[in-house]
Homo-oligomer: A and B are copies of this chain.
Amino acid sequence: MSQKRVAIGIDLGGTNAKVGVVDGDGQVVAFDSGATNPERGPQVLVAEVVMLIDRVLEGVGLTRADVIGVGLGTPGPLSARTGTVIKAANLPGWVQVPLRMLFARALDLPVVLDNDANVAAYGEWWVGAGREWGDLVLLTLGTGVGGGVVLDGKVVQGHFENAAELGHMIVMPGGLPCNCGQRGCLEQYASAAAVARRVMSAIKDGETSSLAEAVARGEELDALAVEKAARAGDALSLSIWDEACYYLAVACVNIQHAFNPACVVLGGGMAGAGEFLLERVRGHFEGLKWHLHRDYPEILPAQLGYRAGVIGAAGYAWREQA
């Protein structure tokens, strides 16, 4: 029988669940992911994920008896306090689902829950880009821009449990309209989806670009296509890419003056561009920042990639033990 003590981290997406078995040092002992069918309801999804967990544990010779607890990251909005998914945009029909209780009952283990950006931020703070610092702010550049803030080792939750919605900071008053009802939100300029959308829209408005032919064929561009075109010298792609970096730098200045963290970490799909993104953000930040104090955060790449969520979620479970 194994003496190994582990936590389970679950990262729940719209069509897919990732499960990690994580030790107390944040090392991933085992990892797997599987398709889920959230449209069949929470009970079915919980059963699917529990089967996945048992399979992953079995693969490394462990059982639920070796597990100290479970952490769960899901898309928001949710209440970490009550363990309830309030309404999930990509979990159709899920309203006020007591997901923590459902998992706790199914597994007979303590479960803790938070939104996906917060658990990823906690993971990066625990064993990733922020592990040498006391605090960090994470921005994830994907469909939207997610945010998570860890100060003194604690995730900032906010009075309404909705802190760190940093993608909806207004970086350009009166700017591009956002689905959220505001104008000029960071995520309208700097999400992977926004970058692709803005290039397609400019091409449809008649701007020349090496991507025009693909758009004319009806192809949906993504941020990677824009990045590639920008690297190859397409002026339109480069200009929109650079503008994304500029507004990320504006956000970094505002994050500096709000939270004054040691570092701002960029993650999510678009951060896969590496220095092609980071160098530009740092360059704009250099031009935008104040001269009063040397209290600038480092702007760093995320380190945990697609496993940030399960590591961070498991970290929540370990933290509950401490």
Interface residues, chain A, with chain B CB atoms under 8 Å away: 77, 133-135, 147, 149, 151, 156-166, 168-173, 178, 180-183, 246-247, 250, 253-255, 257-262, 288-295, 297
Contact = CB atoms under 8 A, between A and B. Distances in A.
A172 B289 CA distance: 14
Given A170-B253, A171-B173, A260 B290 contact: no
Given A156-B151, A171-B173, A173-B250, A293 B162 contact: yes
Interface of A is mostly: loop
11 contacts: A77-B292, A134-B159, A151-B158, A160-B260, A161-B260, A162-B260, A166-B257, A168-B253, A168-B292, A173-B246, A180-B290
Contact of A257 (B133, B157, B169): B169
A255 B168 CA distance: 11
Nearest to A179: B292
Contacts of A259: 156, 158, 163, 258
The number of times this chain is found in the oligomer is 2
A288 B170 contact: yes
B182 A293 contact: no
Contacts of A135: 158-159
Nearest to A290: B180
A138 to B, nearest CB: 13
B290 A182 contact: yes
A181 B291 contact: yes
Nearest to A86: B293
Nearest to A247: B173
A169 B253 CA distance: 7
A289 B308 CA distance: 31
Given A159-B133, A250-B173, A258 B292 contact: no
- Give the interface centre of A158, A180, A288 by most chain B CB atoms within 10 Å: A158
Given A159-B295, A170-B250, A255-B258, 20 more contacts: A77-B292, A135-B159, A159-B261, A159-B262, A162-B295, A168-B253, A168-B257, A168-B290, A168-B292, A169-B254, A170-B253, A178-B290, A180-B290, A180-B292, A181-B289, A181-B290, A181-B291, A182-B289, A254-B258, A258-B259
A91 to B, nearest CB: 16
A258 B260 contact: no
A260 B162 CA distance: 6
A291 B253 contact: no
